[in-house]
Amino acid sequence: MELFKNTQIDFLGKQKYFIGLSLILLAIAIGSWAAKGGLKYGIDFTGGANINVRFASAPPIDRIRSAISARIPGEISVQEVTGENEVIIGLPLKEDSALQRERESVVETLNTTFGEKTDRLDLNNANPQALAERLREPLQRASIPMNDEQLAQLARRIFDFRNTPPRSGVLSSFDQLKEVEGVTPQILEVIRQQCYLAPFTIRGAEVIGPKIGAEMRNKAVLAVLYALGGMLVYLAFRFEFVYGLAAVIAVFHDVIITLGFFSLTDKEISLNVIAALLTLVGYSMNDTIVVFDRIRETLKLSRRELTPKIVNDSINQTLSRTVLTSGLTFISALALLLFGGPVLNGFSSALVVGVIVGTYSSIFIASPILVFWHEKFQKGKRAAAPASAR
Amino acid sequence: MKSLKWKAALIVAITLGCLYGVIGLPKSKDELAANWNKNIRLGLDLRGGSLLVVQVQLQDAFKVEANTQIERLKEELGKQSIAYASIDHNDPQTLAEADQIAIQVRGIPAEKSQLFRNIIAELLPSWVLTPLSSTDYRLTLKPTEALQIKEDTITRAITTIESRINGLGLAEASVQRRGGAGSEAEILISLPGLDDPARVKNILQTAALLELYEVKDGPFPRQEDALAKLGGVLPLNTKLMRSAPRPGDPAGEGWYLVARTPVITGRDLRDARPAQDEFGKWETAFVLSQESKGRFGRFTEANVGNRLAIALDNQIRSAPVIQSRIEDQGRITGAASHQEASDLALVLRAGSLPAGVVYLQEQTVGPSLGADSIRKGLIAGAVGLVLVVAFMLAYYAGAGINAVVALVLNGVILIGCLAYLEAVLTLPGIAGIILLIGMAVDSNVLIFERIREEIRAGKATLAAIDTGFSKAFLTIIDTHVATVVSCAFLFMFGTPAIRGFAVTLVIGLVANVFTSVFVSRALFQFSVARQGFNPRISIGI
């Protein structure tokens, strides 16, 4: 199979349209950025707390919000994870000690609002050791013989069962436990007496104090700039300075547009997104390098100087390569976006958008810059010293 | 032919070596799974667990140091009969102000000033004395000494936290300095496989400062009541202390007037164990050390009928009436469960923290969340893999198989390296592997397209393969170096999850140079060598 056979597209002839398009995209990106008062950063960078809570059925968002608002001053967010009975409760930036206190008070509020006021053990929010300890005596009283080892194993199996999907941490009824190996009807009866099932479980929490947030923000900006600088140096070393410059401008363009996409769609910039951006800085370079390599090769063979035609031919000759490699990475990134779950959503969105923009920019941005530079500066040199050229 | 055999041997050896690193030599399916779990270390974002960053409040340690020196100084001044109006220290509130600690001495008679200076020089050599007037002085800590105290405090905090966590029996827990500019006082605690982070946070947060006080008066329901009874002024050498309401404790909050200095502190402790009282309620029993035994015995004998306050972290836990002389034992009542009683025993045994800690960061992933992430990662990876493989086979026909073999080998080497390097696989790391599926075949695409081009230009198969590989090689190096260079800056962040991503991607890309260039070329050479004269390859044109 072949997709591109001997293409003769005049890319450089249409460069003003594409440069125009890029400028418009950049303007939209920066405009949206400015209109929204900056990018929306995740708690990795702002500081704050996110608590993942999974419910046994559809979560009562309003009740959660009002219960927590009553306890904690300031703005809180309760965000539903689509397709799951799960919410993420977000607390905004506070001072370090206050954040930790409020994180605990969210858990407490959930317990008092949705839990039972008994001294039975909440199986959905306990740990295996606590369950084993809780059951030891009642099992003895019910004359079900079990040594500590067996009891610990039973508790572990019950929790492993609870944690695997589709339960994913929440049991909705004790009858579900019948499936667990070793849970006899008698044991189940004891569990029923000693435990209860709160309709929710706390699956995870992330608390980041303002100090660490600020530190990460600093590092994120530096890391992206260093990476761009690193690219410039490497390409200048492997090719010529102008090649490095053209490639870095193209990649910078990709980063801005990708960030613009995040701003437009109100997606948060998290540490994972920065990881994706840095990967992108390297990856978006790949297509550019493929084209530049070809230009360099042609120049060596023909012993001529750079002309728009050589650049255009090189783009055409490498077109199938450029499109295929990007396409394959795009497939991987898309699979990750569609199936990789909410935690990696930002990461894979950045890559999906970035791979497209990166491919586009290596054809329509990096190469025209090369030609532009050459016509502007190299030609001038030749005119100034015509004798040596002859 | 000979070189081909060597190539085959090398490829097989590397593959087997990597497989061995991952699964060992399993004899059964269970053993295979067990070896895999042992060799592939999952980060705590996948297997569940907690990551905590705490900041040691160094100013606490400085205040303790100042207090100790003030007590010594007072004692010495008393011995030498030098009168003084007051000796106290300032109260730095934040970490940044910690080394501004200073001791103020007021009202030393002018004629004793030389003697006073001599005492300071001998008794407090690490402090600098500055006269404020003829009778008042100010003592500040020497910078080298301040640094020493900081270092000691952090080291002690790490040791204490370590021994507390070890008591929990978490095998892979680690406690270390976080490092980096401006984070000297920060400790990174990683607790993979932890079921209940709230419990650990309690264990870490408890300063575990145990003190037994002589109760002078009380309990009072409120602080104001106490002050009202005492006429608004506290008697000399006493202080008011709150008793915290415990869950299920009918007594509730109360206030006691206690002696300023404790009879017994946590340092006098020899052992602590969970125990049950006659009604089966849990409590923590402690035993005092040999040295403090006599002191406690004399004290309790003299105070039979009075109350003794047992305070933990400056809150009274209980204030029982002393029934008779007690030699060396005591107990802290009111634990809600066996676990709580044994946790308290654990922190008491591990000793108190030299300074308070503040949480700067917490990342807790429950086991079910981690399992979900793994499952979703596997699905995404499978989908990506199937699509990419299908495309390569459809587009490049026979050469597609070549690329797929290289891709699989790339994966095997990556996993093998992760196992041998004891690198940790994190969720972003899984994302990196999925991304690598696309990136790995990119190299093959570069090479195959080049070979097609050469064949179209009329070159013979062998020559086309040679040119294709040699021309694409430099391009592949350039593209890979670009990605590796930009990923290298991810190490700046130091978060384990992101680090896992960078490590995975870098290893994968390096392995990719080997598989896509060396292995893939060898595969072509095998197929060509078998055909004899004028060979052909299937590459989809």
- What tens digit of pLDDT does each residue of B510-532 get? 999 999 999 999 999 888 888 87
More confident residue, B436 or B196: B436
Which of A3, A205, A328 is the closest to B364 by Cβ? A205
Residue B153, domain member (yes or no) = no
Does B356 share its domain with B372?
A: no
When pLDDT is cut at 50, 70 and 90, the band that residue A65 belongs to is very high
User: Is residue B196 less than 8 Å (CB to CB) from chain A?
Assistant: yes
| Among A176-185, B211-220, B394-403, the least confident range | B211-220
Q: CATH for A47-116, among 3.40.630.10, 3.40.50.300, 1.10.600.10, 3.30.310.50?
A: 3.30.310.50
Q: Strand A121-122 and strand A195-196: pairing?
A: parallel
Report d(CA B185, CA B62) in Å as an integer: 14
Decide if B199 is inside a domain.
no
CATH number for position B71: 3.90.1070
Residues facing B359 on adjacent strands: B54
Three-state DSSP at B337 gives: coil
DSSP one-letter code for B278: T
pLDDT at residue A386, rounded to an integer: 41
Contact residues on chain B for A201, CB-CB shorter than 8 A = 366, 368
Q: Tell which residue, A152, B193, B39, has the closest CA to residue B31.
A: B39
B91 and B240 housed in the same domain: no
Own/partner long-range contacts of A125-128 (Cβ < 8 Å, ≥24 apart): A125/A198, A125/A200, A125/A201, A125/A202, A126/A195, A126/B196, A127/A159, A127/B195, A127/B196, A127/B199, A128/A152, A128/A155, A128/A156, A128/A158, A128/A159, A128/B195
* B267 and B406 together in one domain: no
**B388 to chain A: closest CA residue:** A328
Are B401 and B445 in a shared domain?
yes
Domain containing B128 equals 61-146
Tell if the CB–CB gap between A297 and B362 is shorter than 8 Å. no
How many domains does chain B contain in total?
3
pLDDT tier at A264, thresholds 50, 70, 90: very high
Average pLDDT of chain B?
86
pLDDT higher than 70, residue A381: no
Contact assignment for A205 to B446 by CB distance below 8 Å = no
Kindly state the helix (H) or strand (E) to which residue B224 belongs, with its residue range. helix B223-229
B433 part of a folded domain: yes
Cβ neighbour number for residue B539 with a 10 Å cutoff = 22
Measured distance CA(A351)–CA(A354) in Å, rounded? 5
Q: What is the CATH number of the domain that holds B358?
A: 3.30.1360.200
Is B531's Cβ below 8 Å from some Cβ in A?
no
pLDDT value, residue B181: 62
Q: Is residue A46 less than 8 Å (CB to CB) from chain B?
A: no
Q: How confident is the model at residue B249 (pLDDT cuts 50, 70, 90)?
A: low
What is the pLDDT, as a whole number, of residue B182? 66
Decide which of 2.40.50.140, 1.20.1640.10, 3.10.150.10, 3.90.180.10 is the CATH code for A12-42+209-382.
1.20.1640.10
- CATH 1.20.1640.10 residue ranges in chain A? 12-42+209-382
More confident residue, B424 or B348: B424
Q: Does the pLDDT of residue B209 top 80, yes or no?
A: no
B161, part of any domain: no
**Co-location of B225 and B107 in the same domain:** no
In this structure, is residue B151 part of a structural domain?
no
Give CA separation, B535 vs B395, B449, B527, in Å: 21, 19, 9
B503 and B385 within one domain: yes
The arithmetic mean of pLDDT across residues A166-174, rounded, is 89
Residues 105-134 of B with CB under 8 A from A: none
pLDDT tens by residue, B45-74: 888 888 888 888 888 888 888 888 887 888
Decide: B426 and B519 in contact? Cβ < 8 Å. no
pLDDT at B195: 64
Which positions in chain A touch B453 (Cβ < 8 Å)? 317
Chain B hits for A329, CB-CB cut-off 8 Å, are: 435, 438-439, 442
Residue B227 covered by a domain: yes
End position of a domain, from candidates B146, B162, B185? B146
Q: Are B217 and B270 contained in the same domain?
A: yes
Note whether B289 and B269 are within 8 A (CB).
yes
Residues in A closer than 8 angstroms to B475, CB to CB, are 289-290, 293
Sheet holding A86-91, edge to edge: A77-81, A86-91, A48-55, A200-208, B357-365, B49-56, B186-192, B174-177
- Grade residue A28 by pLDDT with cuts at 50, 70 and 90: very high
CA atoms of A262 and B264, how far apart (whole Å):
60
% of chain B at pLDDT higher than 70 = 96
- Pick from B361, B438, B474: which is nearest to A333 by CB? B438
Question: In which band, very low, low, confident or very high, does the pLDDT at A380 lie, cut at 50, 70 and 90?
Answer: low
> Residue B171: is its pLDDT beyond 80?
no
B489 and chain A in contact, CB less than 8 A: yes
Cβ partners under 8 Å of residue A115, min gap 6: A122, A125, A198
Rounded CA separation B471/B463 (Å): 12
Residue B276 within a domain: yes
Label residue B389 by pLDDT band (50, 70, 90): very high
Task: Write down the pLDDT at residue A162.
Answer: 92
Q: What is the pLDDT of residues B281-332, one digit of tens each?
A: 888 888 888 777 788 888 888 888 888 888 877 788 778 888 778 877 877 7
pLDDT in tens, B337-353: 777 788 878 777 777 77
The mean predicted confidence, pLDDT, of chain A is: 88
Cβ contact A54–B368 (<8 Å): yes
Q: Given an 8 Å threshold on Cβ–Cβ distance, is A96 in contact with B487?
A: no
Integer Cα distance of B154 and A45 in angstroms: 26
Residue B379: which CATH number?
A: 1.20.1640.10
* CATH 3.30.310.50 segments of chain A: 47-116
B residues 338-357 closer than 8 Å to A (CB): 338-339
Residue, of B202 and A16, whose pLDDT is higher? A16
pLDDT for res A387: 39
pLDDT of residue B283: 84
- Confirm whether B165 is domain-assigned: no
A118 touching B, CB under 8 A? no
Instruction: Name the token pair of B286.
Output: 């402690």
Quick one: pLDDT band at residue A388, thresholds 50, 70, 90?
A: very low
User: Complex ipTM, two decimals?
Assistant: 0.89
Residue A376 banded pLDDT, cuts 50, 70, 90: confident
Selection from A204, A286, A336, A206 nearest residue B501 by Cα: A336
> Is there a single domain that holds both residue B72 and residue B93?
yes
Please report the pLDDT score of residue B319 as a whole number.
Answer: 80
Q: How confident is the model at residue B24 (pLDDT cuts 50, 70, 90)?
A: confident
Entry field: residues in chain B: 541
Residue A352 binned pLDDT confidence (cut-offs 50, 70, 90):
very high
For residues B238 and B350, state if they share a domain. yes
Nearest to B438 among A275, A285, A331 (CB): A331
Please say which residue of B105, B128, B146 terminates a domain. Answer: B146
Beta strands in B206-251 (DSSP E): 210-220, 238-243
Measured distance CA(B421)–CA(B398) in Å, rounded: 35
Where among B146, B178, B198 does a domain terminate? B146
Structure tokens at B127: 């402090």
Contacts of the segment B126-130: beta carbons below 8 A, 24+ positions apart: B127/B69, B127/B103
Identify whether the C-beta of residue A349 lies closer than 8 Å to the C-beta of residue A272.
no
Given a contact cutoff of 8 angstroms between Cβ atoms, the answer to whether A124 and A170 are in contact is yes
Give me the residue from B195, B478, B488 closest to A238, CB to CB: B478
pTM: 0.82
pLDDT higher than threshold 80 for residue B467: yes
pLDDT reading at B160 higher than 70 = yes
Is residue B316 located within the same domain as residue B453? no
| Nearest C-alpha in B relative to A5 | B453
| Nearest beta carbon to residue B359 from set A100, A285, A347 | A100
Query: Could you give the CA distance from residue A67 to residue A63 in angstroms, rounded to a whole number?
Result: 6
Nearest CA among B151, B91, B156 for reference residue B352: B156
Residue appearing with tokens 């993942």: A52
The residue-averaged pLDDT of B222-232 equals 80
3-class secondary-structure state, position B499: helix
Note whether B495 contacts A271, CB cutoff 8 Å: yes
**Strand, coil or helix: what is B532?**
coil
What's residue A390's pLDDT? 36
Q: Which residue from A minimizes the CA distance to B373?
A: A341
Task: Find the helix or strand (DSSP H, E) in which B374 lies.
Answer: helix B367-420
Strands B308-312 and B315-318: antiparallel
Contact B45, B430 (CB under 8 A): no
Same domain (yes/no): B386, B496:
yes
- Smallest CA–CA separation between A320 and chain B, in Å? 8
Same domain assignment for residues B217 and B305: yes
Cβ–Cβ contact B377 with A under 8 A: yes
Average pLDDT for A28-57: 91
